[in-house]
Amino acid sequence: MRAAVLREIGKPLEIETVDDPKPGPGEMIVRVRGSGICGSDLHWAQLGMAVKPGQILGHEFSGDVVEVGRDVGDRFRVGDRVCSIPFIGCGHCRACLAGDVTTCDTALATGLQAPGAYAEFVKVGAAEALHLPEAVNHRQGALVEPLAVGLHAVGQARPDPGARVLLIGAGPIGLAVSLWSRFFGASAVVVSERSSGRRDLAGRFGATDVIDPTAEEVLPAFEAKTGGPPDLIYECVGVPGLLQECLGMAPRRTRVVVVGVCMEPDTIFPFVAMAKEITVQFVIAYEKRDFELAIAMIDQGRVASHEMITDVVGFDDFSEAFEALKRPTTQCKVILEP
């Protein structure tokens, strides 16, 4: 099969022919129809970290089942349209049985430890796969994972109904957090974002207003737009310095929720947060129920997720598209259709 392989950290992905994956017990092979580029993949391709050379990245995908391994049972058949949590767990521990595979001790992360979906075929665990309803196309299917990240963040943060929310960053995850914040009853969702293209997108993802942080000071702008301070600040960028910026602007006794994945050491000044009794909450990933709700809400037309897709590319243009996202960009979600 063709796949985009990370041969060397910091270098462009190589489009190569590699062996087709084979399903083990409880596993299936999916022909990838849509595979989203994630900011985490860009970090890993640049910095290495958890990823070794030779890795096929890609963990936001949907496709068609083409092979079903033994012990899968009759829940899936060849031809089924699916997406999957990008982890393959043991299937029988407490975490796996509860739909919380990311905390399974032996789970392998697809696109990080196991081969990912920047490829024609990808292996998934049947326990982690989910059927896509007729009305959910494969591009939308590839967005279920980032939507689930945002849904889980809001689910963990549990904002009070009517909360005023300040959101830093309108990349795919910021947009997902914006969408679900509004969905679950925030009275105001104001998004601070440097890129004008992404600011324009925010309005279609539930944002009630936007701020250009290069042109105005964020907190006063927020108060002018909403009539009061934020109850909750979501940091959805994940670069060094930004957490401290959030602590600096957070009003007394409010909460900063860290959703942006910062993979470098970062420095904070604890007393700034202490003096205002700020609560800092870290969140990551999702559970199966987040995937299920995200799929159901796309199916019912209650979330216009596909509007975050700003480009769709094939293998021929994929490596270049991936490189372009390492630099400041007006793109949001770019999808590979192998």
Residue 79: HSE in the Cβ half-sphere, 13 Å Cα cutoff = 2
- If the CB atoms of residues 163 and 237 are measured against Zn ion, the closer one turns out to be 237
Query: Between residue 192 and residue 221, which ones bind Zn ion under the rule CB under 5 A?
Result: none
Provide the minimum distance between the beta carbon of 198 and Zn ion in the complex, in angstroms, as a whole number: 17
> What's the N-to-C CA distance of the chain in angstroms?
10
Rounded distance between C-alpha atoms, residue 129 and residue 88, angstroms: 9
Provide the minimum distance between the beta carbon of 230 and Zn ion in the complex, in angstroms, as a whole number: 26
- If the CB atoms of residues 30 and 85 are measured against Zn ion, the closer one turns out to be 85
DSSP state of 9: T
Kindly write down the DSSP assignment for every residue of 93-162, as one continuous string: SHHHHTT-GGG-TT-EEBTTTB--SSBSEEEEEGGGEEEPPTTS-HHHHHTHHHHHHHHHHHHHH-PPTT
- If the CB atoms of residues 89 and 171 are measured against Zn ion, the closer one turns out to be 89
- If the CB atoms of residues 93 and 313 are measured against Zn ion, the closer one turns out to be 93
Provide the minimum distance between the beta carbon of 277 and Zn ion in the complex, in angstroms, as a whole number: 33
Provide the minimum distance between the beta carbon of 232 and Zn ion in the complex, in angstroms, as a whole number: 23
What are the C-alpha distances in Å from 109 to residues 25, 46, 85, 290, 336?
Answer: 17, 19, 9, 17, 19
Tally of CB atoms within 10 A around 327: 7
What are the beta bridge partners of residue 29?
Answer: 67, 123
Q: By rule CB under 5 A, what string of x and - marks binding of each residue 75-94 to Zn ion?
A: --------------xx--x-
Provide the minimum distance between the beta carbon of 89 and Zn ion in the complex, in angstroms, as a whole number: 4
Sign of CA dihedral 33, 37, 38, 44: positive
Which candidate, 245, 227, 225, places its Cα nearest to that of 235?
245
- If the CB atoms of residues 66 and 93 are measured against Zn ion, the closer one turns out to be 93
Provide the minimum distance between the beta carbon of 123 and Zn ion in the complex, in angstroms, as a whole number: 17
Query: Between residue 95 and residue 134, which ones bind Zn ion under the rule CB under 5 A?
Result: 96, 104
- If the CB atoms of residues 95 and 280 are measured against Zn ion, the closer one turns out to be 95
- If the CB atoms of residues 18 and 90 are measured against Zn ion, the closer one turns out to be 90
Q: In what order do the strands lie in the sheet with 14-17?
A: 14-17, 2-6, 55-56
Kindly write down the DSSP assignment for every residue of 223-266, as one continuous string: HHHHSS--SEEEE-S--TTHHHHHHHHPPTT-EEEE-S---S--
Provide the minimum distance between the beta carbon of 249 and Zn ion in the complex, in angstroms, as a whole number: 27
In the three-class reduction of DSSP (H, G, I as helix; E, B as strand; rest coil), residue 221 is classed as helix
- If the CB atoms of residues 38 and 190 are measured against Zn ion, the closer one turns out to be 38
- Total binding residues toward Zn ion, as defined by CB under 5 A: 7
Provide the minimum distance between the beta carbon of 225 and Zn ion in the complex, in angstroms, as a whole number: 30
Provide the minimum distance between the beta carbon of 207 and Zn ion in the complex, in angstroms, as a whole number: 21
What are the beta bridge partners of residue 257?
Answer: 234, 281
- If the CB atoms of residues 143 and 247 are measured against Zn ion, the closer one turns out to be 143
Q: By rule CB under 5 A, what string of x and - marks binding of each residue 25-64 to Zn ion?
A: -------------x-x------------------------
- Does position 171 interact with Zn ion (CB under 5 A)? The reply is no
Interface with Zn ion by CB under 5 A: which residues? 38, 40, 89-90, 93, 96, 104
